[in-house]
């Protein structure tokens, strides 16, 4: 066997001394001389055969090592330091949004710490007659939010039995209790303000419900299922705005929808944003579905709160009309009037601001100031934005034409509080 052949067998392309040494030492096996010769002879050393299992083990180990490098070592130590960070075809997220998975939990804890003591428990006692004519005491449980340190508390109207409760008891975070009186309630809005004779109470900070966006965090604090679970914290997001639901024959509009858990007893409690500010008063839950809770926007209550705190009572702006929404009027009389929506006037109180301002029977009110009017509830909500003595523009439809009239509101007479 010559040098060229040996070089090819050993996988080398040259005939250096190193190649000859490797060839002589590793690839040859010496034997005794052949008969009738003096020189020894050699044969090629037989290479050991490797089975399938050996190759499989080697491949498995290599795969494991490669996986460890790719998953752990490369991202933490190599990429960006020794190896350039891979470029995924140049596709970069243009929004560049960073989300911290722990952020929401920190928000909920901070909000709870800030606002927990401002939420109170409310129990009521109401007397009703049973089937046999006997008076039976009924107890109710709800929640409330302290809005002024001298004892003013905001809650739902239905929590205090729409002002008909015989006794209202407020329980504070420290376990103390006080008897409360009703200063104001409105069943159409499902809001009420009660007062206790206590001072230096922890006040909740009010937010701006007009700035809410769907998807932002929402935290609810209240007393679900009774005072044994008082000041329970649940969290979720704002899942809808301007919702309308029917509750106990009352159409409630412009509600905030949230998936933060709201259960019986949560009513009157606070719905808060990520800054711990009250953005709504929890009012209802759809029992036939999960994750559908509703709150009254806090901005609806703000004009009432401000007037009651400053003057000790609330005097609603008096207009002096009664009527019905257009759709119900058309359905009841089987007629089709020239308006898609609005509040059609059935009666105008003589000498009232409406009469003085020129409003007539069969006029259709569509706006009070910049607030749309579609029915009785929206009419009353619009009036809550004004005080007695305010002058505002009223938009009406008369005989198919739009007109604008100026109305100066008066204080609501006791005998005409619903007009």
Q: Identify the three-state secondary structure at position 58.
A: helix
The one catalytic residue in 158, 161, 235, 295 is: 158
Q: Identify the three-state secondary structure at position 280.
A: strand
User: Would you say how long the chain is, in residues?
Assistant: 419
Known catalytic residue at 158? yes
Known catalytic residue at 259? no
Q: Identify the three-state secondary structure at position 262.
A: coil
Known catalytic residue at 336? no
Find the largest Cα–Cα distance for the chain. 149
Q: How is 160-228 classified by DSSP, letter by letter?
A: GGGGT-SEEEEE-TTS-EEEEEEEEEETTTTEEEEEES--SPPPPPB--GGG--TTSEEEEEE-TTSGG
Residues 284, 294: Cα–Cα separation, whole Å: 5
Tell the residue number behind the tokens 């006692």, with chain if given: 125
- C-alpha distance from residue 24 to each of 21, 29, 42, 77, 269 (Å): 5, 9, 10, 45, 93
Q: Among 397, 345, 402, which Cα is nearest to 376's?
A: 345
- Sign of CA pseudo-dihedral 313, 121, 226, 168: negative
CB 40 within 8 Å of CB 30: yes
Residues 141, 121: Cα–Cα separation, whole Å: 7
Q: Identify the three-state secondary structure at position 364.
A: strand
Angle made by CA atoms 13, 19, 24, in degrees to the nearest 5: 135
Q: Identify the three-state secondary structure at position 155.
A: strand
The one catalytic residue in 115, 118, 157, 190 is: 190
CB 374 within 8 Å of CB 325: yes
Residues 342, 312: Cα–Cα separation, whole Å: 34
Tell the residue number behind the tokens 């939990």, with chain if given: 105
Exposed, middle or buried, 1 (CB in 10 Å: 0-12/13-18/19+)? exposed
Structure tokens at 92: 């970069």
The one catalytic residue in 209, 267, 295, 352 is: 267
Q: Among 313, 368, 323, which Cα is nearest to 347's?
A: 323
Question: Active-site residue numbers?
Answer: 158, 190, 267
């Amino acid at each position: 066997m010559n040098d060229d052949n040996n070089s090819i067998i050993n996988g080398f392309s040259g005939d250096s001394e190193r190649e000859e040494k490797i060839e002589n030492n590793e690839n040859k096996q010496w034997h005794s001389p052949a008969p009738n010769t003096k020189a020894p002879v050699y044969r090629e050393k037989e290479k050991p055969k490797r089975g399938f299992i050996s190759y499989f083990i080697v491949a498995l180990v290599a795969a494991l090592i490669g996986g460890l490098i790719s998953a752990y070592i490369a991202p933490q130590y190599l990429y960006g330091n020794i190896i350039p960070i891979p470029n995924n075809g140049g596709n970069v997220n243009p929004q560049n949004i960073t989300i911290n998975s722990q952020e929401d939990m920190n928000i909920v804890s901070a909000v709870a710490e800030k606002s927990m003591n401002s939420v109170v428990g409310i129990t009521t006692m109401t007397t009703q007659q049973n089937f046999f004519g006997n008076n039976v005491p009924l107890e109710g449980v709800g929640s409330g939010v302290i809005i002024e340190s001298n004892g003013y508390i905001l809650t739902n109207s239905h929590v205090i039995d729409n002002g008909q409760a015989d006794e209202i008891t407020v329980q504070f975070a420290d376990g103390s209790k006080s008897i409360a009186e009703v200063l104001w309630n409105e069943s159409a809005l499902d809001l009420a303000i009660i007062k206790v004779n206590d001072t230096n109470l922890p006040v909740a900070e009010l937010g701006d419900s007009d700035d809410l966006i769907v998807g932002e965090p929402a935290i609810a604090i209240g007393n679900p299922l009774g005072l044994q679970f008082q000041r329970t914290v649940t969290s979720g997001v704002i899942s809808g705005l301007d919702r309308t639901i029917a509750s106990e024959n009352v159409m409630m509009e412009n509600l905030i929808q949230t998936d933060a858990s709201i259960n019986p007893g949560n009513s009157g409690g606070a719905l808060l944003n990520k800054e711990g500010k009250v953005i709504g008063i929890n009012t209802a839950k759809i029992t036939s579905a999960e994750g559908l809770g509703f709150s009254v926007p806090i901005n609806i209550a703000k004009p009432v709160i401000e007037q009651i705190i400053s003057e000790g009572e609330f005097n609603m702006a008096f207009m002096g009309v009664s009527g019905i929404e257009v759709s119900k009027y058309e359905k009841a009389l089987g007629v089709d009037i020239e308006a898609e929506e609005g509040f059609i006037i059935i009666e105008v109180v003589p000498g009232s601001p409406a009469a003085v301002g020129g409003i007539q029977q069969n006029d259709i009110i569509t706006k009070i100031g910049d607030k749309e009017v579609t029915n009785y509830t929206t009419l009353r909500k619009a009036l809550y934005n004004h005080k007695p003595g305010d002058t505002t523009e009223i938009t009406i439809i008369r005989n198919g034409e739009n007109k604008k009239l100026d109305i100066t509101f008066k204080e609501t007479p006791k005998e005409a509080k619903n007009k």
